[in-house]
Every structure is written in structure tokens, then in C-alpha cells.
Copies of this chain bind each other. A is one copy, B any other.
Amino acid sequence: MDEPKRNLLLAALAPAELKRMRQHLERVDMPLGKVVYEAGRLVEHVYFPTTGIVSLLYVLENGATAEIAVVGNEGVVGISIFMGGESTPSRAVVQSAGSAYRLSSQWVRDEFARGGPMQHLMLRYTQSLITQMAQTAICNRHHSVDQQLCRWLLLSIDRLPDPEILMTQELIANMLGVRREGVTEAAGKLQNAGVITYRRGHIKVLDRKQLESMSCECYEVVRVETARLLPRALSR
């Protein structure tokens, strides 16, 4: 069940590739709130989530935060390793507890330098991540908290086995970079509309279709572009 192939990038690799990698893969737990890597710090491992979800956050001097991308079992955390920077100004935090497989940075660098299918896959994934970040930028500019909450919920349940999210409104507000009260209000509307139910840190999505229709276009744009870039990894 919980094996490397549960990560869709690893699953997309040819058996021979995966086999070579296998003995270097290390399974790790990702408890809620764990900081996978800190902004500006050397990244030691590259993580392939299987059941966990990781948020990439930027933090301002005054402590304000905003999520710039989400990575679940469709992706990989630590792209700065093969991009060559070794670190990034973003912080990676576990948003939903679960597990992941990780590789040492050194091994990833070496493997990447071979220039094979693994390199191609990582780069295409990176491009899809860029798309997600860019769409987040314009979404932050133009869309309402209500719409963004819908987008965020969709991004989350896409990466979870069940349409149920364990997260307080306070934390969601940190992700979206808005007030906690704003999330309370938006979530209230969704509950009244019968789209979700929630109680103290649990959110259940009841009507995904309607959630999509209430979301801004940003969710769909990113989904379509990701499917284009990584068709094999998105066959779910």
C-alpha cells in the first residue's frame, strides 16, 4: 500500500530507473507542522510524498505568510537541489500528516546529472510547479477569499485519499495569507450552501462539483496544465 509508487512521479519512472533508486529511498514520516526545509537553509533531502501534503510558504519580515504552492503525492519537495541553488527563500511545511520517501541531495544531484528520464521528469514537474506559483500570484491579486478558499480545498482533497481535511481555519488563513475571520466567513457560506461541513479542525467536502463551480478558474488552469505536462503522473 504505502510504497514508493504511491508517489506519482516515482510511479512514472521506468522500472529499471526505479530499481536503481530503490535502495537509496528512505521512508519517512511527515507529522503535521514538520518543517521539511527552512527558508535559506541547505536542503539535505529531496522528498517524494506518498500520503502527506507539503505547503511551500513565503514569510515576510513582519511574519505574514502566504502559500505559494502545494505538493502532494503528485510531486516532489526540494527542487532547488537539481536546479542548482541548494536552498530557496521558501519554507516547506507539512500541511497534512502522512509519509514520504526521500533521497539524499547528493544522490539526486548525481542522478540528475545523468540526464536521463529522471531529469526530464523532474524538470517537467518543476514547470508545473512554476505554473501553480504563477497562477497563485494572479489569484492573490484578483480573486476573493471565497474563491480562493474553494481553490485551496480542491488542491487539498486532490492530494488526499478522502475528501476530508484536518486543518483549523487559523492555519488555512495562514496558507491563504488572509485573516482567520475571513476564512470563518467563507467557510460558513460554503457550509450553508451544503458544499462542505466542518467542526473544529475537520473539513469534509460534500459536493465537489459545486465547489469547483464556486472556485476561481485558477484551480482548473493549473490542473489542465499539470495534466498536459505530466500525463502519466496524473492518470488517477
Contact = CB atoms under 8 A, between A and B. Distances in A.
Interface of A: 56, 58, 60-61, 64-66, 68-69, 79-80, 82-85, 88-90, 113, 115, 120, 123-124, 126-131, 133-138, 140-142, 177, 217, 221, 225, 228-229
Given A84-B123, A135-B58, A141 B142 contact: no
Contacts of A138: 58, 60, 64-66, 68, 140, 177
Contacts of A64: 138, 141-142
A8 B113 CA distance: 24
B89 A135 contact: yes
Nearest to A82: B123
A84 B124 contact: yes
**Copies assembled:** 2
Given A64-B141, A66-B137, A84-B123, 11 more contacts: A65-B138, A68-B134, A68-B138, A85-B124, A85-B127, A88-B130, A88-B131, A88-B225, A115-B115, A137-B137, A141-B177
A138 B136 CA distance: 9
Contacts of A113: 115
A176 to B, nearest CB: 8
Which 4 residue pairs spanning A and B have beta carbons closest together?
Answer: A137-B137, A83-B127, A140-B140, A141-B177
